[in-house]
Each structure stands twice: as structure tokens, then as C-alpha cells.
Amino acid sequence: MTRGLVTATALAAVTGVAAPLIVVATPTGAVAAAAGIGTDDKQRVDAAAVVRLDPSPDVLLLSDHDFVFALWQKARDGGATFESVRLAAETAMASRRDADHVAFIVTGIHTAYAVDKQREKDKADAARAARLAKAQVLIVVGIPSTPDLLDLGDDNFIRAVMRHAASGPEVRAAAAKALAEDAPAWHAFIISGARDAHQRDVDRELRELAEKDAAEAARRKELAARTNAAALFRITPSAAMLALADDNFIRELLRIAPADTQSSELYAAGRRAVLSSDPAVWKAYLHTGAEAAYKQDDEARRKKIAEADRLLALQVQAAAEKTGVHPNLVAEAKKALAGTDEDVAEFLKEANQYRAKRQTLAPAAGHPGFVVRQSSTDEGEVFLAPVSATSPQADREDATWVVVPGLGGEAGCYSFESSRKPGHYLAQHELRVRMTASDDSAQFRKDATWCAKPGLSGSGTSFESAAQPGRFLRQHWGDLFAGAASGGSNRFDTATDFGQDASWKISDPLAR
């Protein structure tokens, strides 16, 4: 019967599992810590400040690797704010080279944080621009702007616009169409769709008016163009302003434009227009140029965020490839990167990255169709059993494990958390391996940590117990043990087929 590895979540914050306390990782004495320290207190304090860790004297005495682990814990708990820092820390933690741990503390964490800060700034700018775009919609359509309206989510804002008496039939129809679709369609309605629909309403009214009074229709068309251009600057034009000549109207827009618009293409295009002596250029800016420039600004913001997201997804993929234990995460990253920008953004959500760390464990050789699974009815017993893609969902969940950085913090080591029962990990106790609930103790974290090694059989991956060095995760007659490669008195220490029984294949998760 196949035996299941329970993936331990050093990224357990994603699932709500309590994070290991940093102080538990502290060495018992300064002498033990000093042996692995290649950084000074200032470098450590500077690194800790990045993730807002207030390092105690004990933490400052950790080895460089364990100090990186402490930084990683804080970065993980900080979520998306420290996503690049977390990835860089995981790469450093996976290395057994002291120089890599030092490099992360001294420079790596700061470089990664600069990337995180820029991503946060870009996202904040985009969120602010999205809120201001709502104000522009209200100005154009003629709906009084209130903080409550601007604070609505995109879908509820569109509903409010659709219900308002000032909205014409084209605006209401465009709103209904957007609401029937997804978030990108809501964004498109707010950025340009509402104004485009309002213009269609205006055009219809002007056609009707032109049959009676062509001059009045032309006047209202010019007023509508000016009102729309002013709305892009979030300005409600006065009657006196609307009476200005085209070039002076644009100059007035630029003069009173909000400071945040002065670095935009919208503003730059207006400046270029007023520098021209051609009235046709002024009119073109008011009727179409301002709108085109505004859409160009929005697209630039969207592309900036999308490029940053793709860079981060590539980091996730590269970090996963280095571990060798996350083929599903690698595959999901590649799939997202081959898709749309929305696919990449969805992949980068913490819950989705955590889920993509699901894997199924099977013997590297022999026992075809058998995988490692747990049995809740047998109080967490783990063993080899036949489970396939056509098995019941519960069985497939029992045979799927989340592979995460080792709870014990050792370099190149991992833990395995049950996808069925978050917070339960594959741990050894008195050399028997079972799925056990974490008690957050230092001993449990050691017992639930397994260090990846080249497969002892010459293929696959073998996992050495961090709590029992020299012993490996081994199946023996279908049950899982921490078996001794060098032999021993226990029946599961037999040298017969040890390499084969202690070598594992990490394959696609049976439950995604």
C-alpha cells in the first residue's frame, strides 16, 4: 500500500495554520550560533527592519541560515507585501552554502524588497486611478459625486450608475452588459465604456435636435466634448470656462489640472495641442485626443502591473524549479505565464500558489499505481495504497500533500502537509511515520522536516529525517518509517531493497 507524505506549511499563513514561533528556532547557546555567523549585528538589524522584525538578542545569535529562516517567517506572514522577499529567502534557505545565506542578509533582502515596494506602489497608483476614474464617470454622466459612491466596489458602482436617473439608455445598456461579464469588463466600463455609452446617448439627442435646430445641435456637441475632456482631468467646467475659445479652454484645463495628472499623457497631449497654432489640432484634442491619451495612460498602468506580475511569476517558477520538489507549482506557473495577464494575476494569489504546491508521492520504482496516502479513520496512519484519478475525491485528497519549506528551518529540507487536514504533517515518532497535528514545538518541527537527497536507488528523491540523521523516509511492506540506510535491529532497517523503498517520485497531485 502506498504511503503519503504530509506537506508541512512553512507557508502555513496561507491556510490559517499558526506559524512557528521564531524563538523556538533559537540555538541553545551563543557558541553553537557563532559557528554559523558570517554577518554582523548591523547587517542583521538592517535586514530585519525590511520585514519589520524586532530581533531579540537570541535571534541575533542565530546562525545565518536560521536568521534567514526568521526573516522568511516574517515575510511569509506579511503576504503580498513581501512576496519577492519571501521567494528570495526560500531560495537562500534551500542552499547549503554559507555564502548564499550571507548574501541574502547583506544585499538580497534589500534588492527583493525594492521589487516589492515598486509593485506595491504600482498597484496603489492603479487603485487610486481606478477610484478617480469613477469620479470621471459621474462628472460626464451628470451624477452628483459622493464619497459613498466612489467607495463602492466596481460592480456595485456600475449598478448605481445604471439605476441613476441621469443615465441614458445607452449607459444603462452598457452597464447591464458589463455586469453580466467579469471584473475586466467592469474595469473597461469605468475606464471608457460609460463615457463611450454616454456619448452615444448625446449623439442620439443631437441627431434629434439637428432636425429642428442644427446650430443648437452643433453648440451642444462642442459643450459635450469639452465636458468630457474636463472630466478626464476630474474638473467640472463652469459656464464661463465653457465659453472660452478651444485653445484657451485647453490652457485652463492644464492650469487647474490636479497635480497627479501633470505627469500623464493626457496632460502632455494637451500641452502639445496648445503649442500648435492650428485650430483643428485644438478641436481634435477636445473631441478625440484627450480620450485617446487617457486610455493610453490607463493601458500604461495596466502593462506596468502586468509586467511586474509576470516577473514575479517567473521568480516563483525559477524558485520552484531549484527545489526539485515542486513540479506542479512549476507547471502551474508556466501555464499562467502562457495565458493572459489576468491568468498570471490569479496564479499569484497566495491561496493559489499554496494550492499549486500540492503533489502526490509514489515509489520511484515498483508498485505501479500505488501512492502515499493517509487514513483519518485509522487515526492518521500513512501507507501505500492504490489511488487514481478516478478514485473518490476524498481518497484523492488523502493521497495529496502540500510540499513546503521545512518546519525545522534546515537548508534544502521540506515538510509535507495534508491537503485534507491542514495543520497535520508527515512526522516521525519513535521511527514510525504518521500524519500528526502540529503542536508548534521545536521537536515536532524537527520530526516533520525531511531533507531532499538524490534518490538512493539512483532515481527519484530520497528524504532524510531532520530529527533522525542517517534515517530516510522508507516504505516497508506498505507502512512508512524513518529507516536506517546503514542497517539496524528494526525490521524496517533491513538493507534489502532499502534504496528502492526509500526513493520517491513526486508526481501530479491527484487532488488539485
- Same-domain status, 355 and 492: yes
- Same-domain status, 200 and 219: no
C-alpha grid cell, residue 109: 533582502
- Same-domain status, 380 and 493: yes
- Domain with 455, as residue range(s), is 12-21+325-507
- Same-domain status, 263 and 371: no
pTM here is 0.77
Cβ 432 vs Cβ 14: under 8 Å: no
- Same-domain status, 233 and 333: no
- Same-domain status, 400 and 366: yes
Helix (H) / strand (E) containing 385: strand 381-386
Query: Would you state the pLDDT for residue 35?
Result: 57
In a domain, 100, yes or no: no
C-alpha grid cell, residue 158: 456600475
- Distance between the two ends of the chain, CA-based, in angstroms? 22
pLDDT digits (tens, 9 = 90+) for 81-116: 999 999 999 989 888 899 999 999 999 999 999 999
Q: CB-based contacts of 165: which residues, under 8 Å, 6+ apart?
A: none
pLDDT digits (tens, 9 = 90+) for 350-371: 889 999 999 999 999 889 999 9
- Same-domain status, 471 and 401: yes
Domain final position from 168, 196, 212: 212
Cβ 62 vs Cβ 56: under 8 Å: no
Domain count, the chain: 3
In a domain, 361, yes or no: yes
In a domain, 116, yes or no: no
Question: Cα–chain-centroid distance for residue 90?
Answer: 15
Residue 347: give its domain's CATH number: 2.80.10.50
- Same-domain status, 365 and 496: yes
Categorise residue 231: left if φ over 0, alpha if ψ from -120 to 50, beta otherwise: alpha
Q: How does pLDDT run along the chain (512 residues), one tens digit per residue?
A: 333 322 232 223 223 333 333 333 333 333 334 557 899 999 999 999 999 999 899 889 999 999 999 999 999 999 889 999 999 999 898 888 999 999 999 999 999 999 999 989 888 888 888 888 898 899 989 999 898 999 899 999 999 999 999 999 999 999 999 999 998 899 899 988 998 999 899 888 888 888 778 888 888 889 989 999 999 998 999 999 999 999 999 999 999 999 989 999 999 999 999 999 999 999 999 999 999 999 999 899 889 999 999 999 999 999 999 999 999 999 999 999 999 999 999 999 988 999 999 999 999 988 999 999 999 888 889 999 999 999 999 999 999 999 999 999 888 899 999 999 999 999 999 999 999 999 999 999 999 999 999 999 999 999 999 999 999 999 999 999 999 987 888 999 999 999 999 999 999 999 98
Distance in angstroms (rounded) separating the CA atoms of residues 216 and 222: 10
- Residue that the C-alpha cell 466634448 belongs to: 225
- Same-domain status, 235 and 172: no
- Same-domain status, 167 and 208: yes
CA atoms lying within 13 Å on the CB side of residue 461: 20
